[in-house]
Amino acid sequence: MSILKFGVLSFILILALSSIIVSANPDLEFIGSYNVGSDVREIYVDDIDNDLSLDVIIASNDVVYVLNNDATLKWMYSAENLKSIFVSDTDNDGYKEILISTGREIANIERGNFYVIDNGGNLKFKYPRSAPYSRFVFYSICAVDLNDNGYHEVICGFSTGVYALKDTYDKFSWSFKTNETITGIMVKDIEGDGNEEIIANSFSNLYVLDLDGIPIWEYSITEGIKEIIIDDISHTEGSEIILISKEDVIYILNSEFELIYPKTKLVNNILEVSTLDLNGDGLKEVILGSKNGVYILNSRFDMVKNKYETNDDVHGIYLADLDGDGEDEIIFGSGSYIYMITKQGDLKDKFYVGQEIDKLILEDLDYDGYMDILINSGNKIYLFENKESKESRIRDAAERYYRDAKGYFEVGRYDDANKSIDEAIRLYKEIGDIANVKECESLKKEIESKIIKEKNENADKIDEVIKEKERKDILSVFEISEGGISIFFIFSIFLLVVIIILLLLLLIKRK
């Protein structure tokens, strides 16, 4: 073979292999997209109206959008200078409300509002109720029932500290002054004693309060706090607090707020932190996503055990069986790809989605038992469904219907068998499984043959019953019972005797 031919063939082979790697994976099915018109600040996924499908709640700069699980708009609510949102059943009616915090500072004067929106997009409450603005910017919010009355108070992060807004949304019940802006608030049971704590953070300080606003503990990181994760990553009582500093130093504290491992810096430019039990031993590993890949830390959190480099920003890290092979994979987004890597950090598959991923959420939006993929890229939301999982789901259902049909057929429940085999045929047709369609149709012929035979036998039995009834009706008129002559016959004889006697008496009288 000439050098020229060999070079051409090699070039073609390289192109072919490259196209396989970068082409859109056919197993990932695009469902829909929605443009929110500006940058996406936050995304919540929750079923706010109890319709057995998850809603996608998106906070942009000035609008809250609620999308259906197919990325179509359900409703939207405008709120200028939007800061944060939170989803909670504030009034204990079984339906979720969306809490919205807003605000900005103009000429060193703060202005802000707080809104409670029902699951249909209607305003339920506003703070302040009468004035156009409050004197606070609501930087962060979280809802919790502070007094066990079934109604949620709202914990607010202001520029001066943490405040608790009463469940009547007209005044504050307590405040904790920090004289620095509270940019994040969450409620967790850190100590594992059944009592929740309020965790609030500013740029460089972490505050832990009880539900009455009394400070329990405080921790400072001079270089600033980038990420806070609270989770039970050990077998000890309570949860651990994982802090990532602005300089990517990792701090891990126990539920007594003590540093349990030396602080360490292992990865630069950390963007994501996730805690996942990769080997099923009950101990969660810490997985870091950075600007160039995913890093799995060892059990002492002082060394990178495994890694996978993507050379692009990592967003969203999950553990799930996305391809339906029975094994969980680590799923994350990076660049324009969704990656699936093994728990050891080896690439298993990747899916090209055509858009730069800014946020990635893995959720079962339609409650079908399989994960859907939600991506934010710029000002758009994209929704994907794993087609392979969908086909597996349909095939499993078809096989169940086929087994049910055979079971019903064997015990003579032919109508039930016919209904089940019809469903099996419909599902196999949906996924284009012609071989199983033919097998189902063969069983259906046997079922229908039995149904026809059963109907004919039943018709014959009905004819016999009708004829027997008619025969009995006729005989009942003349029938002689085992005890003697029938009542009708006796009455007839009696009537005849009476007539004869009357005739005899008439004859005697004439003589």
Q: φ, ψ for residue 462 (rounded to 5)?
A: -65, -40
Q: Where are the domains of the chain?
A: 34-188, 266-378, 393-473
Q: Write the CATH number of the domain with boundaries 393-473.
A: 1.25.40
Token pair listed for 505:
């008496």
Please tell me the predicted confidence (pLDDT) of residue 511.
62
Token pair listed for 217:
């503990």
Alpha-carbon distances of 480 from 467, 475, 484, 491, 497, rounded to whole Å: 20, 9, 6, 13, 20
Please tell me the predicted confidence (pLDDT) of residue 488.
63
pLDDT per position as a tens digit, 139-178: 999 999 999 999 999 999 999 999 999 999 999 999 999 9
Half-sphere exposure of 95 (CA within 13 A, CB side): 10
Q: φ, ψ for residue 205 (rounded to 5)?
A: -125, 145
CA-to-CA distance for 417 and 405, rounded, in angstroms?
Answer: 4
CA-to-CA distance for 19 and 477, rounded, in angstroms?
Answer: 93
Tell me the pTM: 0.73
pLDDT per position as a tens digit, 66-82: 999 999 999 999 999 99
Alpha-carbon distances of 23 from 20, 129, 228, rounded to whole Å: 6, 55, 37
**Torsion over CA: 235, 237, 238, 240 (sign):** negative
Please tell me the predicted confidence (pLDDT) of residue 397.
83
Residues of the chain where predicted confidence (pLDDT) is lower than 70 = 1-27, 388-389, 473-489, 511
34-188 belongs to CATH 3.40.50.300? no
Please tell me the predicted confidence (pLDDT) of residue 89.
95
Please tell me the predicted confidence (pLDDT) of residue 479.
52
> The tokens 């506003």 sit on which residue?
126
